C-alpha cells in the first residue's frame, strides 16, 4: 500500500501495466520528455524508452487514428488527449472508427485501446480546458466511458480499461488530480467496468453523480444529514454502459431520485438516467426525478465558473427540494 | 520579389538587420522614417513591459494562466505593422505585440487572461478575431475571411497566425490548401518559437523548415528572421501587397524563440537546456532594434528605461481596473448563448437568481 493522489495513481497504474505487459504503449502531446502537462506519465519514457512512451506532434486526430492502427496490429495503446476540450479534432476517429471497428468487421478487428483525458472543470483554466464530454461520448454505441473519483478507483478502473478488449475512454477529473491522498495497493486489482458503486446507504433519496462532483455531493450529504435527510449516494463510475440495475434497485428503496453532473443539462446523462428510473421504478417514485446539472450555456471562463459548477450548498438545496416535494 | 530570393527551398533566411542592430541588407530596408520605426519599437517595448507585468501579477496570484510573448515581439509587431487598418487579423494566442499595434486595448488583453469573456470583445473598428485556443482551428477562419473579401470584391487582406506546433495539425494543411485553391488574399504567419510546450521543433516535423509546407500547397513562402523587425515588416508587406493585387496567399515562417515559458503553467527548465536559452538571448529583437535607434540618434538608454517604467505603471493601473471590474455579472453567463434567450435558459437563469437571493437572506 502507498499513499497516492489521483494523478499519482494514474502514473503508478500506467507504470505497473507497462511493466507487466510489453504491448502497452503510452503517447500523446508532451507525454514523453515532459511527462504530461499534469505529470500523469512522468518517468515512463525514462523507464520504458521512447518506443513505448513518446511525444507526438500536435494532432489529436492522428493520435487517436494511430492508436486504432496500433490496436489492430497487436499493441495496447493508451493515448492521452491533453485536455478533453482538445478532443474534438479526434471525434472523427473516435466516432467513425474507434466505436465501430468491432461491429464493422463483425468482430474480427477489435480495438483494445484506451484514450485518457483530463476532464471537467473548476480548475480556473482557459477556454476549452473545462469541458465535460460525458454526454457526447456516452451517446456513441461501441465506446465504454469511465470516470474515477478516487485514487483507488483510478487504478482499478484504469487496469480494467487497459485490459478490456473494447475501446475505453477514460475521463480523469482534473479538479481532483491532487485533491487528496488515499491508500492504493501496489499489487494487482481491478474494478469492473459498467458497475456503479453505492458510496453510502440511505433511505430518503438516491443521488447519483461521478467524477469530481462525488466529493461535493458527499459534502452536501453532511449538510443534509444534519437536517435528518438520509441520502443514498451512488458513484456511477462508468458512464457507458450504465449500471441501471444498481440505480433502479436504489430508487425502488428510496422513492426519490436526483442526478448531479457538470455537463450542460439538456440531453445530458441525467436525462438518460431519469429515463431509466422512469422505466424501472416509476411506481415507486414519490417525487419527480430531478437533474442538477450545468446550465445550457458555454462553460464560463474562470471568473464566472463558480456560477456554473454546483457547490455543496446548491446541491443540498436541490436535493432538499426533492425530499420535501 | 522577396519570395523568389528567399523561397522555401532556397535554404536562405531573410535578415535585414543583424543581432547588433547593423543593417546587413540596406537595399531591402522598408521605406519608413526613423520616427515610424521608433513608434513600432515602442509597441515592442510596451509588449515586453505588459508581459513582465502580467507575469509578476500571475506570480502574485492575481492574474490566471498567462502566455508570455518575450522574444517574439518583432515577429508580432513587424507583421501587424505591414497591415492596413482595414485588413483582418486572425490570432492564435501569442500575438500581444500585434494586438497592441492593431489598437486592442491592454485592458481587453488583461481581461482575457484574467478569465473574463469580455477579453474577447474588441472595440468597434478593430478587425481582429478573438484568441483561438484549439490549435490551428483559426486558420480556416482566416481563409474564409479572405475568400469573402474576394467574393465581395473588396481589397482587404487577412493575416493569420499559428505556432510551429500548429503546423502538425490537419487544420493547418487544410487551410493552406483552401487558400491556394481559392487564391485567397491571406498571409499565414508561423511564429516558429522552437517549442510547442515541451516538444522541440525538430520533433514536431521531419521537414527541414516549416515554410517548405507552402510548396505542397502550391503557394509562395518565405523564411524570415523573426527577431528582425525590419525583415518581418518587409516580408509581410511584400506578401500583403501581392495578395491585395490578386496574387493569392503566402506562408511566412518567422524564425524566432520563446525566451519564456509556454504559459505560466509549465517549467521550461524541464525540457530545454539553459545554454540554449542563453544562446538566443543575444538575438533578442528588442535589443537589436534599440541599438539601431540609438545609433540613429532618435532614442537613448535613459528614454528606454523611462518608457518602460512609465508603461509598467500604466499596465499596473490597467490591471487594477480589471481587478476592480473584472467579475462577470450573472446575466453575462446566459445572455450571449443565443440572440434571444430561449425559455429553458431563461428558466435556469431565473432559478439561479432565486437561489442566490435565498442564500443572501
Residue A65's CATH number: 3.40.50.970
d(CA B231, CA B236): 8
Which ranges in B182-338 belong to alpha helices (H)?
Answer: 201-204, 213-217, 229-244, 274-280, 285-295, 301-325, 330-334
Window A:204-263, CB contacts with B under 8 Å: none
B116 and A303 in contact by Cβ < 8 A? yes
Low-confidence spans in chain B with pLDDT less than 70: 360-361
In a domain, A191, yes or no: no
Structural domain ending residue among the three candidates A184, A210, A234: A184
Residue A116 parent element (H or E): strand A114-119
Span A6-26, pLDDT tens digits: 999 999 999 999 999 999 999
In a domain, A135, yes or no: yes
Beta partners for A76?
A24
The CATH fold assigned to B2-328 is Rossmann fold (3.40.50)
Instruction: Give residue A235's Cα distance to chain centre.
Output: 10
Q: Are residues A24 and A86 in the same domain?
A: yes
Q: Are residues A234 and A171 in the same domain?
A: no
Structural domain ending residue among the three candidates A130, A150, A184: A184
CATH classification at residue A234: 3.40.50.920
- Shortest distance between the Cα of B327 and any Cα of chain A, in A, equals 6
| Selection from A139, A146, A302, A30 nearest residue B112 by Cα | A302
In a domain, A239, yes or no: yes
B288 assigned to active site:
no
Determine contact: A320 vs chain B, CB below 8 A: no
Question: How far are the Cα atoms of A64, B161, B255 from residue B196, in angstroms, in the given order?
Answer: 19, 14, 14
- Shortest distance between the Cα of A26 and any Cα of chain B, in A, equals 16
Span A203-218, pLDDT tens digits: 999 999 999 999 999 9
Question: How far are the Cα atoms of A263, B232, B276, B292 from residue B19, in angstroms, in the given order?
Answer: 52, 14, 16, 10
Span A77-125, pLDDT tens digits: 999 999 999 999 999 999 999 999 999 999 999 999 999 999 999 888 8
Candidates A128, A298, A307; nearest CB to B133: A128
Question: How far are the Cα atoms of A36, A101, A118, A161, A287 from residue A9, in angstroms, in the given order?
Answer: 14, 30, 14, 14, 39
Backbone angles phi, psi at A197, to 5 degrees: -125, 125
Residue A199 parent element (H or E): strand A197-200
* Residue A133: per-residue pLDDT: 96
3-state secondary structure of A207: strand
Span A218-251, pLDDT tens digits: 999 999 999 999 999 999 999 999 999 999 999 9
B135 and A266 in contact by Cβ < 8 A? no
Half-sphere exposure of A134 (CA within 13 A, CB side): 37
Determine contact: B38 vs chain A, CB below 8 A: no
* Residue B361: per-residue pLDDT: 56
Q: State ipTM.
A: 0.93
Question: How far are the Cα atoms of A196, B125, B132, B166, B217 from residue B147, in angstroms, in the given order?
Answer: 52, 20, 20, 22, 16
Q: Are residues A153 and A286 in the same domain?
A: no
In a domain, A23, yes or no: yes
| Selection from A274, A254, A151, A270 nearest residue A205 by Cα | A254
Span A30-65, pLDDT tens digits: 999 999 999 999 999 999 999 999 999 999 999 999
A139 assigned to active site:
no
d(CA A310, CA A166): 33
In a domain, A189, yes or no: no
Q: Are residues A56 and A80 in the same domain?
A: yes
Q: Are residues A229 and A136 in the same domain?
A: no
* C-beta pairs of B200-205 under 8 Å, 24+ apart in sequence: B200/B271, B200/B272, B201/B164, B203/A55, B203/A57, B204/A57, B204/A58, B204/B164, B204/B165, B204/B167, B204/B168, B205/A57, B205/B167, B205/B168
Q: Are residues A104 and A249 in the same domain?
A: no
Count structural domains, chain A. Answer: 2
3-state secondary structure of B115: coil
B89 assigned to active site:
no
In a domain, A303, yes or no: yes
Residues in chain B: 361
Q: Are residues A142 and A170 in the same domain?
A: yes
The pLDDT of A126-146, averaged and rounded, is: 95
Which ranges in chain A belong to alpha helices (H)?
Answer: 6-20, 44-48, 60-72, 91-93, 101-104, 134-138, 151-163, 213-226, 244-254, 269-281, 305-308, 312-323
List of chain A residues whose C-beta atoms are within 8 Å of the C-beta of residue B345: 295-297
Q: Are residues A48 and A112 in the same domain?
A: yes
Residues in chain A: 325
Range of the domain at A106: 2-184
In a domain, A190, yes or no: no
In a domain, A107, yes or no: yes
How do strand B250-255 and strand B186-192 relate by DSSP bridges? parallel
How do strand A76-80 and strand A24-28 relate by DSSP bridges? parallel
Burial A156-193, CB ≥16 within 10 A → b, else e: bbbbbbbbbebbbbbbbbbbbbeeeebebeeeeeebeb
Question: How far are the Cα atoms of A127, B117, B164, B193 from residue A130, in angstroms, in the given order?
Answer: 7, 15, 25, 27
* Residue B4: per-residue pLDDT: 87
Q: Are residues A133 and A269 in the same domain?
A: no
Q: How many CB atoms lie within 10 A of CB B152?
A: 9
Residue B253 parent element (H or E): strand B250-255
Task: Identify the active-site residue in B262, B288, B292, B311.
Answer: B262
Determine contact: A103 vs chain B, CB below 8 A: no
d(CA A221, CA A276): 24
Amino acid at each position: 500500500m502507498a499513499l497516492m493522489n489521483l494523478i499519482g495513481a494514474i502514473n503508478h497504474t500506467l507504470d505497473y501495466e507497462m511493466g507487466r505487459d510489453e504491448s502497452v504503449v503510452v503517447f500523446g502531446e508532451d507525454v514523453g520528455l515532459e511527462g504530461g502537462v499534469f505529470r500523469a506519465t512522468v518517468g515512463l519514457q525514462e523507464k520504458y524508452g521512447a518506443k513505448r512512451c513518446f511525444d507526438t506532434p500536435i494532432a489529436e486526430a492522428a493520435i487517436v487514428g494511430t492508436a486504432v492502427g496500433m490496436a489492430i496490429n497487436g499493441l495496447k495503446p493508451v493515448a492521452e488527449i491533453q485536455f478533453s476540450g482538445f478532443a474534438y479534432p479526434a471525434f472523427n476517429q473516435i466516432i467513425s472508427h474507434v466505436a465501430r471497428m468491432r461491429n464493422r468487421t463483425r468482430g474480427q478487428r477489435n480495438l483494445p485501446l484506451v484514450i485518457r483525458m483530463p476532464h471537467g472543470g473548476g480548475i480556473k483554466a482557459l477556454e476549452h480546458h473545462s469541458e465535460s464530454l460525458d454526454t457526447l461520448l456516452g451517446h456513441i454505441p461501441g465506446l465504454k466511458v469511465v470516470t474515477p473519483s478516487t485514487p483507488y478507483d483510478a487504478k482499478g478502473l484504469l487496469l480494467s480499461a487497459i485490459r478490456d478488449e473494447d475501446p475505453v475512454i477514460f475521463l480523469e477529473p482534473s479538479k481532483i488530480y491532487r485533491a487528496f491522498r488515499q491508500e492504493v495497493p501496489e499489487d494487482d486489482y481491478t474494478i469492473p467496468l459498467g458497475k456503479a458503486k453505492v458510496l453510502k446507504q440511505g433511505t430518503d433519496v438516491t443521488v447519483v453523480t461521478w467524477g469530481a462532483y462525488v466529493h461535493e455531493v458527499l459534502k452536501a450529504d453532511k449538510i443534509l444529514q444534519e437536517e435528518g435527510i438520509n441520502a443514498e449516494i451512488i458513484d456511477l463510475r462508468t458512464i457507458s454502459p450504465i449500471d441501471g440495475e444498481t440505480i433502479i434497485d436504489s430508487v425502488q428503496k428510496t422513492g426519490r431520485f436526483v442526478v448531479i453532473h457538470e455537463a450542460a443539462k439538456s440531453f445530458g446523462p441525467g436525462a438518460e438516467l431519469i429515463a431509466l428510473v422512469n422505466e424501472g421504478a416509476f411506481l415507486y417514485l414519490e417525487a419527480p426525478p430531478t437533474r442538477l446539472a450545468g446550465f445550457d450555456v458555454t462553460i464560463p471562463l474562470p471568473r464566472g465558473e463558480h456560477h456554473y459548477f454546483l457547490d455543496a450548498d446548491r446541491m443540498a438545496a436541490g436535493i432538499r427540494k426533492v425530499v420535501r416535494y | 520579389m522577396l519570395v523568389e530570393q528567399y523561397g522555401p527551398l532556397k535554404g536562405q533566411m531573410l535578415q535585414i538587420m543583424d543581432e547588433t542592430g547593423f543593417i546587413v541588407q540596406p537595399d531591402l530596408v522598408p521605406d519608413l522614417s526613423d520616427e515610424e520605426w521608433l513608434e513600432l519599437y515602442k509597441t515592442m517595448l510596451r509588449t515586453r513591459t505588459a508581459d513582465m507585468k502580467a507575469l509578476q501579477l500571475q506570480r502574485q496570484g492575481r492574474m490566471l494562466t498567462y502566455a508570455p510573448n518575450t522574444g517574439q515581439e518583432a515577429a508580432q509587431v513587424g507583421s501587424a505593422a505591414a497591415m492596413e487598418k482595414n485588413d483582418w487579423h486572425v490570432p492564435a494566442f501569442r500575438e500581444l505585440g500585434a494586438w497592441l499595434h492593431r489598437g486592442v486595448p491592454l485592458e481587453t488583453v488583461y481581461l482575457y487572461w484574467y478569465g473574463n469573456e469580455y477579453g474577447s470583445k474588441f472595440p468597434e473598428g478593430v478587425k481582429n478575431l478573438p484568441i483561438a485556443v484549439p490549435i490551428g482551428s483559426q486558420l480556416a477562419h482566416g481563409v474564409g475571411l479572405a475568400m469573402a473579401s474576394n467574393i465581395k470584391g473588396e481589397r482587404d487582406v487577412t493575416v493569420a497566425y499559428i505556432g510551429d506546433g500548429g503546423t502538425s495539425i490537419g487544420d493547418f494543411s487544410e487551410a493552406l490548401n483552401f487558400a491556394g485553391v481559392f487564391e485567397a488574399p491571406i498571409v499565414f504567419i508561423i511564429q516558429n518559437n522552437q517549442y510547442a510546450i515541451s516538444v522541440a521543433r525538430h520533433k514536431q516535423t521531419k521537414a527541414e523548415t516549416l515554410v517548405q509546407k507552402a510548396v505542397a500547397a502550391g503557394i509562395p513562402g518565405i523564411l524570415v528572421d523573426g527577431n528582425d523587425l525590419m525583415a518581418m515588416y518587409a516580408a509581410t508587406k511584400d506578401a500583403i501587397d501581392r495578395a491585395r493585387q490578386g496574387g493569392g496567399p503566402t506562408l511566412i515562417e518567422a524564425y524566432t524563440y520563446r525566451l519564456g515559458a509556454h504559459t505560466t503553467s509549465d517549467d521550461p527548465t524541464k525540457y530545454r537546456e539553459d545554454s540554449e536559452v542563453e544562446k538566443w538571448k543575444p538575438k533578442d529583437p528588442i535589443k537589436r532594434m534599440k541599438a539601431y535607434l540609438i545609433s540613429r540618434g532618435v532614442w537613448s538608454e535613459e528614454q528606454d528605461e523611462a518608457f518602460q517604467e512609465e508603461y509598467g505603471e500604466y499596465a499596473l493601473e490597467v490591471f487594477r481596473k480589471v481587478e476592480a471590474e473584472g467579475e462577470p455579472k450573472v446575466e453575462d453567463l446566459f445572455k450571449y448563448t443565443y440572440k434571444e434567450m430561449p425559455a429553458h435558459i431563461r428558466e435556469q437563469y431565473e432559478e439561479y437568481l432565486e437561489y442566490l437571493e435565498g442564500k443572501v437572506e
